[in-house]
Structure 1
Amino acid sequence: MTIRHELVMSIILAALGLSLITGGTTAYFTDVFSTDNQITTGSLDLGANKETIFQIEDLVPGDTQESRFELTNDGSVDMKEIILHASYEVVDKGEPNNGDNLGNYILVELLLNQDEEETRIFEKTLSELNDNSMPIVESFPAGDIAKNFTVRLTLVDNGEDQSHFQEDQLELNWEFKAIQQDGDAENGE
């Protein structure tokens, strides 16, 4: 054998030895695990047992009318609070009111009835409530029992002539807005 032949043979043997060494050290185990995940959002659903809380006719100064209603959390998300937004419009059908606002004379008292106790939430005139938002419930968990309310409306007798309000009509709108509880930052454990 010539040197050239020995050199080629040595290179081939070295390459074969190197491939056997590296080939034997690259063997490894593998395993794969996959998961199927689902993410859904909750629902915020404020329910009420009535669409009309009051339908009052022939109210005169000094009269008080009372009505009851309930609000429910029909969703899957806890409510942080419920806010009442009140607005009204007076339809002057009788004598001119000359700037006198019927809402100044209608006193609204809202009570929460829970556990056989009445808790006054507020007592204000309609004009004080008009275009204002008032929190009426704090923390209303999903699936909790209904919140029962009593509302009393009184046409205040101011001791003076209120004849200019005769035949007037007041269109009252109450909008209840539920706000979700603050989100939780969990680490997924």
Structure 2
Amino acid sequence: MGLKKQLGMGVMSAALGLALVSGGTYAYFSSSETTNNTFAAGTLDMAVEPTTLIEVDSLKPGDSITRDFELQNSGSLNIDKILLETDYSVIDADGDNSADFGEQIQVEFLYNADKMDEVIFETTLAELKDMEPEAVNEHIFGPMFGEDGLESETHDDFVVEFSFVDNGEEQNQFQGDSLNLEWTFNAQQTTGEEQ
């Protein structure tokens, strides 16, 4: 082996040794942090007080009954919409009804005692039963709540009037009849937003 070759091998061996020594002792600065994150869903918790809004006997055409009720939002989220579903059943005392007793009961959502003092919407129970819940919200609760809806941890007081319409005609077929009304209130949250 020639001198040049031996010298080249020596330089290569020295370079390899330095690479191994420096690779084993290579150091760098570092830092780390850990974050703890939480996702918690809000709650919608609506209640209606009282749960029995009206119980009345011996109605005659022309009678009206005014009642108030409270919608409560005990949840952590604002309520944007209230979708009201109306259902009722009629017990025909004589079996002689040719008309729906629900058409004879006028409903006036008079006002939201906390936000306004006027008649909001007027219809019959029969028409209210046929309305889509979204339309009921648009006509009744939208104007009553305003843009903010029913805010978390608040309540609104509402006044409603029921009237047995005196249509000026003979209404004997409704004598002794009764109507069982069921209102189902469904709350919906406000639209999601950037947090």
TM-score range, shorter chain: 0.7 to 0.9
**Identity, % of aligned positions:** 34
Say which SS state the counterpart of residue 184 (structure 2) adopts: strand
Q: For each residue in 1:51-109, what CA deviation from the matched residue of structure 2 results, as whole angstroms up to 9, or x when unmatched?
A: 110111111111111111100111000111212221212111125112x1111111101
Q: For each residue in 1:144-180, what CA deviation from the matched residue of structure 2 results, as whole angstroms up to 9, or x when unmatched?
A: 3x21111111101111111110111111111111110
Structure (1 or 2) with the greater strand fraction: 1
Say which SS state the counterpart of residue 57 (structure 1) adopts: coil
TM-score by length of 1: 0.86
> Is 1:80 matched with 2:80?
yes
Structure (1 or 2) with the greater helix fraction: 2
Q: Distance in 1 between matches of 2:63 and 2:71?
A: 26
Superposed CA RMSD in Å reads 2.2
Counterpart residue number, 1:114 = 113
Q: Distance in 2 between matches of 1:45 and 1:119?
A: 27
CA shift, 1:114, in A, is 2.9
Instruction: Figure out how many residues of one structure are paired with residues of the other and give that number.
Output: 183
Instruction: Return 5+ residue gaps in structure 2 as ranges.
Output: 143-148
Counterpart residue number, 2:153 = 143
Counterpart residue number, 1:15 = 16
Indicate conservation of the 8 Å contact 1:85/1:131, yes or no.
no
Instruction: Return 5+ residue gaps in structure 1 as ranges.
Output: none
Q: Distance in 2 between matches of 1:85 and 1:116?
A: 23
User: Which amino acid is the alignment partner of residue 159 of structure 1?
Assistant: G
User: Which amino acid is the alignment partner of residue 190 of structure 2?
Assistant: Q
Counterpart residue number, 1:178 = 187
TM-score by length of 2: 0.84
Q: How does 1:39-188 map to 2 (within 5 A)?
A: 39-98=39-98, 100-115=99-114, 117-132=116-131, 133=133, 134-135=136-137, 136-138=140-142, 139-144=149-154, 146-186=155-195
CA shift, 1:22, in A, is 5.5
Q: Distance in 1 between matches of 2:156 and 2:54?
A: 18
